[in-house]
Amino acid sequence: MGAAAPTVAAMSRLPKFVRLPLVLGPTALFAGCNTILLHPAGAVASEQGHLIVVATLLMLLVIIPVIALTVLFAWRYRKSNTRATYTPDWDHSTQLELVIWAAPLLIIIALGAVTWISTHTLDPYRPLHRGTVGSKISGDVKSLTDVKPITVEVVALDWKWLFIYPDQGIAVVNDLAAPVDVPITFKITASSVMNSFFIPALAGQIYAMPGMQTELHAVINRSGDFDGFSANYSGAGFSDMRFKFHGLSAAGFDSWVQSAKASGQSLDREGYLQLEQPSQRDPVRRYASVAPDLFDSIVERTVTGNNVAPAATRD
């Protein structure tokens, strides 16, 4: 503590134009923080971000008064303030007890109701059959019943991502795309260890587990390139297990699909077994065709023909 005094004194002697950068400088370090969770590009992520804001504000209704009263009491009942009322035998106030208990209780009830409703509405296994897509973000309102969903089968490998498009008959490594305002059904699994499929701008993270299929329903409402990665440590190549998610127009998505078909490569079972081998920082690879039912075989762990008993799956 004694060493800090000269530093403070020295700071006070510095000109104001020098002190200001020294004080505000550390704050500038946070200027580059990406608040994508609060500025998402997908309707599901937008609702999740709204839930975070509402929950935070409800909790601040308790936190801010407590902090303010702590400072107020410390100032009012300081030793030098002889005008403060001194009542050492005081021990109860019904009115004060009502305020102390009723206010937090009401906030907890409100927070619980909002969280319960929102988390069930945003269940990743629940198809997007509610409301409209694009109404909050892109401004182009469409009924979900008028839009055919796109299916993407996701496989977490060591240490890369394989995306299979069964309707388009293609597969891509470390690159993902979807048309804007079209619901996406992700079917997710892993080849070896547990991973976590996460695109912050699109929706919340979902675990990818071997021998098991998890699901995520989401929609992208704005074109652009967004980061995707694994949010669960899975070994040496975990930090580079990243990919780009492209929100494209209908024409842009068709062009993206055609670029995969133009590769001429085919992903059969033998090719998958080679791809499954651990590797790091893999480049984007595109496959013009995929072996039938490859994803189901990966989930059931029967790609090699061995009858490995699959774990319980969720339809």
Alpha-carbon torsion (192, 196, 201, 204), positive or negative = positive
Among 42-51, 250-259, 261-270, the minimum mean pLDDT is found in: 42-51
Topology adopted by domain 133-300: Immunoglobulin-like (2.60.40)
Do the Cβ atoms of 202 and 220 come closer than 8 Å? yes
pTM: 0.73
Residue 164 dihedral angles phi and psi, to the nearest 5° = -110, 130
Burial of 82 (0-12, 13-18, 19+ CB in 10 A): exposed
Mean pLDDT of 135-158: 71
Lowest mean pLDDT among 48-62, 226-240, 298-312: 298-312
pLDDT digits (tens, 9 = 90+) for 68-114: 989 998 888 888 888 888 888 888 888 888 888 898 899 899 988 98
- Judge whether residue 308 has pLDDT over 50: no
Q: Please tell me the distance from the alpha carbon of residue 281 to that of residue 207, in angstroms, as a whole number.
A: 21
Residue 5 clears pLDDT 50, i.e. is over it: no
Q: Which is more confident, 309 or 177? A: 177
Return the pLDDT at 128. 77
Confidence of residue 138 (pLDDT cuts 50, 70, 90): very low
